[in-house]
Amino acid sequence: MHRAEQHTQQRIADLVDACAGYWELRGIAREHITEMQLELEQHLQQAVSDGKSLEAVLGPNPAAFAEAWAREMHPHFWRGGAVVLHALVYALSVVSTSALLSQLLAHAPAFTFTLFAAYLLTGSGLLALLLQLGGFLSPRISTRAGREALMLTGVVLAVLALRLAGLTVNWSMALLSWSWPMTIVLLVLAAFLFSLDYWLSSNSEPPSTASANWPALRAVTMFVASVGVFDVMMFVGSVAVFDFCQLALRLV
Amino acid sequence: MDTRSTQLLKGTLDMCLLATIAQRPCYGYEMVQQLAQQGLDLVSEGSIYPLLSRLQHSGYIESYLVASRDGPKRKYYRLLPAGAKQLEQWQAEWEMFAQAVEHILKGARSDAQSRAAYPTTDC
Domain ranges of chain B: 3-117
* pLDDT of residue A141 exceeding 50: yes
Yes or no, beta carbons of A68 and B53 under 8 Å apart: no
Share of chain B above pLDDT 90, in %: 64
What whole-number distance in Å separates Cα of residue A167 and Cα of residue A242? Answer: 18
pLDDT band at B83; cut points 50, 70, 90? very high
What whole-number distance in Å separates Cα of residue A23 and Cα of residue A25? Answer: 5
Looking at the DSSP assignment, which residues form a beta bridge with residue B84?
none
What is this model's ipTM? 0.85
Distance from CA of A154 to the nearest CA of B (A): 30
Q: Which residues does chain B have within 8 Å of residue A59's beta carbon, measured at their own beta carbons?
A: 43-44, 46-47
- B 72-91 near A (Cβ less than 8 A): 72-75
Residue whose C-alpha is closest to residue A233's, from A116, A105, A109 = A116
**3.40.50.450, 1.10.1370.40, 1.10.287.3510, 1.10.10.10: which CATH number matches B3-117?**
1.10.10.10
Kind plus residue range of the DSSP H or E element containing B75: strand B71-79
Task: Write A146-155 long-range contacts (CB < 8 A, 24+).
Answer: A151/A127
DSSP state of A106: S
Yes or no, beta carbons of A39 and B75 under 8 Å apart: yes
Residue whose C-alpha is closest to residue A40's, from A22, A81, A145, A26 = A22
Please check whether residue B66 is in contact with residue B45, taking contact to mean a CB–CB distance below 8 angstroms: no
Yes or no, beta carbons of A55 and B57 under 8 Å apart: no
Position A212 scores a pLDDT of 56
What whole-number distance in Å separates Cα of residue A21 and Cα of residue A67? Answer: 12
Mean pLDDT within A56-79: 89
What whole-number distance in Å separates Cα of residue A159 and Cα of residue A167? Answer: 9
Please check whether residue A6 is in contact with residue A130, taking contact to mean a CB–CB distance below 8 angstroms: no
Mean pLDDT within A98-123: 83
* pLDDT of residue A166 exceeding 90: no
Distance from CA of B1 to the nearest CA of A (A): 13
B13 touches chain A (CB under 8 A): no
A18 touches chain B (CB under 8 A): no
Closest Cβ–Cβ partner in B45, B46, B72 for A38 = B72
Position A210 scores a pLDDT of 46
Mean pLDDT within A50-76: 92
What whole-number distance in Å separates Cα of residue A82 and Cα of residue A28? Answer: 10
B64 touches chain A (CB under 8 A): no
pLDDT band at A247; cut points 50, 70, 90? low
B103 touches chain A (CB under 8 A): no
What whole-number distance in Å separates Cα of residue A198 and Cα of residue A217? Answer: 11
Give the 3-state secondary structure of residue A189: helix
Please check whether residue A35 is in contact with residue B75, taking contact to mean a CB–CB distance below 8 angstroms: yes
Position A229 scores a pLDDT of 85
Please check whether residue A33 is in contact with residue B17, taking contact to mean a CB–CB distance below 8 angstroms: no
The per-residue b/e assignment along B80-100, b for 16 or more CB within 10 angstroms, e otherwise, is: beebeebbeebeeeeeeeeee
Distance from the Cα of residue B84 to its chain's centroid: 15
Give the 3-state secondary structure of residue B1: coil
Give the 3-state secondary structure of residue B67: strand
A243 touches chain B (CB under 8 A): no
Position B23 scores a pLDDT of 95
A64 touches chain B (CB under 8 A): no
Q: Which residues does chain B have within 8 Å of residue A74's beta carbon, measured at their own beta carbons?
A: 57
Give the number of other Cβ atoms within 10 Å of residue A139's Cβ. 19
B47 touches chain A (CB under 8 A): yes
DSSP state of A143: S
DSSP state of B69: T
What chain B residue is nearest to A64 in terms of C-alpha separation? B47
* pLDDT of residue B80 exceeding 90: yes
* pLDDT of residue A1 exceeding 80: no
* pLDDT of residue A147 exceeding 80: yes
Interval A183-235: pLDDT, tens: 899 999 999 998 888 887 777 665 554 445 677 788 888 888 888 888 887 77
Distance from CA of B92 to the nearest CA of A (A): 26
